[in-house]
Amino acid sequence: MNPYFAVATLLLVTSMLFLLPLLPALLELRRKSDALPLGLIQHHAGEIRYFADSFRAYVKTLEPTLRECGASGRNASGVMPDGTNYLVLGNGSTALTLPLQLQDGTCPVLIASASDLSLPKDSSFSKDIYSLGRFVGGDNNHYRALLAEQEAYLGGGSSVMRWVHAGGELSADSGCKLAARVSSDSRIRLAPGCSFQRLNAPRIELGLQDGENASHSISSISELPPSKPQRIVHDGDFEIRCGAAFCGDLVVRGKLRIGSGARVYGSVKSQKDIVLESGVSVQGSLISAGKLVIGPACVIHGPVIAEHEMYIQTGTQCGGARTPTTVSALGIQVAEGVVVFGSLWAREHGEVVANA
Amino acid sequence: MWAHAMIYVLYLIVAIICVYTVRHYGFTLNRLFGFQRHPYIDIDTADWPPVTVLVAAHNEEKVIGNILAALMEANYPKDRMLVVPVNDRSTDGTRQIIDAFAERHPGRIRPFHRTEGKGGKAAALKDAMELVETEVILIFDADYIPGAGLVKQLTAPFFDPEVGGVMGRVVPVNVSTNLLTRLLDLERAGGYQVDQQARMNLRLVPQHGGTVAGVRRSALREIGGWNDNTLTEDTDLTYRLLLCGWKTIYQNRSECYEEVPETWQVRVKQIMRWAKGHNQAMMTYAWPLLAGKHRATLRERLDGALLLGVYIMGPITLLGWILALAVFYRGVAQFNGVLALLAITAYAAIGNLAAFFEIAAAVRLDGNRRRINLLPFLILGFTVSIFSVSRAAFSQVVDLVRGAELRWDKTERFRKAAS
């Protein structure tokens, strides 16, 4: 063999072997098939009503039909620009008598009602529902998503898959499964036995009956703190005694217990579990890197965060009408009689439990 | 005797590299399979505190308009957010652009024009503190484009009284420009999506990046304010907060676009500045962190020390390569027989790939696909980095001997000026 040829072949083969693993890289560099910046939605602000607002914009094309049907009391059906079948009801109560479901019990059309909408029980709705007025759903219904411009009521044992929003009060009867974004512009009321993930409303009442208010036996914390706030960091477990007033921010590297009736004029953080006994009030935030147990009739003004589980007992109030807040944990168990102003967010599972 | 000394130094270097390898794998596995901590990201409703947003700008006419426009769209109570563009001795049109914005948004933008004084971001921020009256301070570099919800996201962690600093995620926007920007995109993904979030998960030491970031004013005051004698005020801040019992937390979902360098020259300059600043922090804080009496936990001390050492690993690796060659040509047997074979094979199969594994995992977590093909090219990026940080370390030693002052270099921008 010609030695030059041999050397050239050797060089060629070596180069090929070297370049072979780089071939996909070279192709990607040239083609730029995945070269866009990571997709950030610049206008996204985590707004819970995002889907409801988008759906409202989506059904805007039905506005003339809704007006017409509302005036005439008749129904109309058709196809949305994206191919979705819709049914517009002039009188929402007719939905109780219409044959909306297929044989498998599922209603496959988008329902939009020009007036108050009532839906029969034991039904599944695989498309979104819109009501220009109030909404009343029967027991054991399954919804994909629901928007009511006024009050909404979900019958016992119902479930919502994606989101539900009501312009007025939104109430869910016992056993509802709300693994979705649930929001209202005025108030949310969940009966005991309901499960939830993300709730947002100016006022969220858990397990309260009509006309009943959360009772708070403790005094308001809006009075001025006794001295200038400071930050105290404590290594190890810590306890604020019953009835004591603690002024300043407190960071505890161990477990924290706050005794009955104690008042904290500041924010509280613990690296481990926190237990609040009855009637405790916290002016700032309450944050636990572990588990958080909030006793009965406590008042917490700032955000309430637990990195693991959270248990909130009856009569507790989080946030205020003018100072809404967020209550968030991996799992949340709330006793009936708790009121939250703002957001209640169970990342994995939240449930309302009846008082023993 | 020299041969044996060389081999023991080599063993030490290999041991240190192995520690970093284990660290890389630990972080990556944690991100893939561990419990992910995002404790403050759910805070969407609150009685939001007043916030001051500092925008550091030095000759930023190409980009300053974008960030000011983006901040004016922020989903934060308008009466509780004040934007302070910190115009640090700009000689281009930065001042005019800022003033025009301030005029269009009365009461929402309060410009701070600095015409003289010490150079550098930290010095400028230090002077700008005279305009800051709020407890929460957010900081952005001028080339960033914050989304509408970012101000709330970066403010939320300050409801925790233990938090002194907050860091968000930096996402390159000019990815497709060339090979360098694509490699930097991969490196950033690994650094934030895996490294920083794993540190957050494991309660270690997430690093304050000095941009897409926040700091609590009382914490800043407690640690003595901005340190204008450092090239990386962010690293310096991270360690001073830690030593004083404040936590810096990382929020992976608080993402913000940035512009990465588009030329190797600018990149080398940038990484050399980072390396010098980081090494400076290492010299200052490594010993107090490891052995001092303060509130950092053992894991924070160890991770903090390893984090301080990342840039000195460049020259150490280079030294290791030289020693390995020297030992080989001196004919010194490092190991014998099967053990040597196993050690080399195991390291080649696992150790060398730790950083690649981390970046591949980050790309996967980001939901990207084909950009992972570029992974082999990272060797180029790593090689440039190793030589650049080694050069930085060497010149730092020379500067130290000569008594030369550290000089802060601004990273050049590539975006076209906003019209």
- Chain B residues whose beta carbon lies within 8 Å of the beta carbon of residue A345: 42, 44
Give the tens place of pLDDT for each residue, A241-299.
999 999 999 999 999 999 999 999 999 999 999 999 999 999 999 999 999 999 999 99
Among A127, A156, A185, residue at a domain's last position = A185
Q: How far is A178 from chain B (nearest CA, A)?
A: 18
**Residue A160: both structure tokens together:** 């919502």
pLDDT on residue B231: 86
Range of the domain at A321: 231-353
pLDDT on residue A221: 47
- The tally of domains found in chain B comes to 1
SS3 B275: helix
How far apart CA A174 and CA A32 sit, in angstroms, is 54
Q: Residue A216 pLDDT more than 50?
A: no
- The CA-to-CA distance between both ends of chain A, in Å, stands at 95
Q: Are residues A243 and A176 in the same domain?
A: no
ipTM over 0.85: yes
Among A185, A200, A221, residue at a domain's last position = A185
Q: How far is B297 from chain A (nearest CA, A)?
A: 10
Dihedral in degrees, nearest 10, Cα atoms A227, A228, A231, A236: -10
Q: Are residues A70 and A177 in the same domain?
A: yes
Nearest Cα neighbor of B52 from B166, B155, B167 is B155
A216 domain-assigned: no
User: Measured between CB atoms, does A234 come within 8 Å of chain B?
Assistant: no
Contact B44 A326 (CB under 8 A): yes
pLDDT on residue A226: 53
Q: Are residues A244 and A177 in the same domain?
A: no
Give the tens place of pLDDT for each residue, B157-174.
999 999 999 999 999 999
- pLDDT tier, A323 (very low <50, low <70, confident <90, very high otherwise): very high
- The tally of domains found in chain A comes to 2
**Residue A264: both structure tokens together:** 């904290």
Kindly identify which residue of chain B lies nearest to residue A284, measuring between CA atoms: B159
A242 domain-assigned: yes
Q: Which of B39, B161, B377 sits opposite A267 (nearest CB)?
A: B161
For strands A338-353 and A309-312, give the pairing.
Answer: unpaired
* Mean pLDDT confidence for B310-319: 92
Asked whether the beta carbons of B213 and B138 are under 8 A apart, the reply is yes
B98 domain-assigned: no
Contact A325 B73 (CB under 8 A): no
Asked whether the beta carbons of A122 and A144 are under 8 A apart, the reply is no
* Mean pLDDT confidence for B378-390: 92
- Chain A residues whose beta carbon lies within 8 Å of the beta carbon of residue B164: none
Give the tens place of pLDDT for each residue, B327-358.
888 877 656 667 777 777 777 666 778 889 99
- pLDDT tier, B400 (very low <50, low <70, confident <90, very high otherwise): confident
Contact B257 A37 (CB under 8 A): yes
Contact B161 A284 (CB under 8 A): yes
B128 domain-assigned: no
Q: How far is B181 from chain A (nearest CA, A)?
A: 10
How far apart CA B116 and CA B114 sit, in angstroms, is 6
- Chain B residues whose beta carbon lies within 8 Å of the beta carbon of residue A340: none
Highest mean pLDDT among A8-17, A30-39, A266-275, B408-417: A266-275
B25 domain-assigned: yes
Give the tens place of pLDDT for each residue, A112-164.
999 999 998 888 999 999 999 999 999 999 999 999 999 999 999 999 999 99
Kindly identify which residue of chain B lies nearest to residue A329, measuring between CA atoms: B39
Residue whose token pair is 């020009």: A114
pLDDT on residue B118: 85
Q: Are residues A57 and A180 in the same domain?
A: yes
Q: At what angle do helices B313-330 and B2-33 cross, to 10 degrees?
A: 130
Q: Are residues A161 and A238 in the same domain?
A: no
Nearest Cα neighbor of A194 from A345, A295, A334 is A334
Contact A37 B148 (CB under 8 A): no
pLDDT on residue A103: 64
Q: Are residues A69 and A171 in the same domain?
A: yes
B68 domain-assigned: no
Asked whether the beta carbons of B140 and B147 are under 8 A apart, the reply is no
pTM above 0.95, yes or no: no
Kindly identify which residue of chain A lies nearest to residue B36, measuring between CA atoms: A307
Q: Are residues A107 and A168 in the same domain?
A: yes
Judged by average pLDDT, the poorest of A229-238, B256-265, B406-415 is B406-415
How far apart CA B46 and CA B43 sit, in angstroms, is 7
- Chain B residues whose beta carbon lies within 8 Å of the beta carbon of residue A285: 159-161
Q: How far is B185 from chain A (nearest CA, A)?
A: 8
SS3 B15: helix
Kindly identify which residue of chain A lies nearest to residue B159, measuring between CA atoms: A285
Q: How far is A236 from chain B (nearest CA, A)?
A: 11
Range of the domain at B9: 1-39+160-400
In chain A, which among 158-217 make CB contacts under 8 A with chain B?
200
In chain A, which among 301-330 make CB contacts under 8 A with chain B?
301-303, 305, 307, 319, 323-326, 328
Contact B171 A37 (CB under 8 A): yes
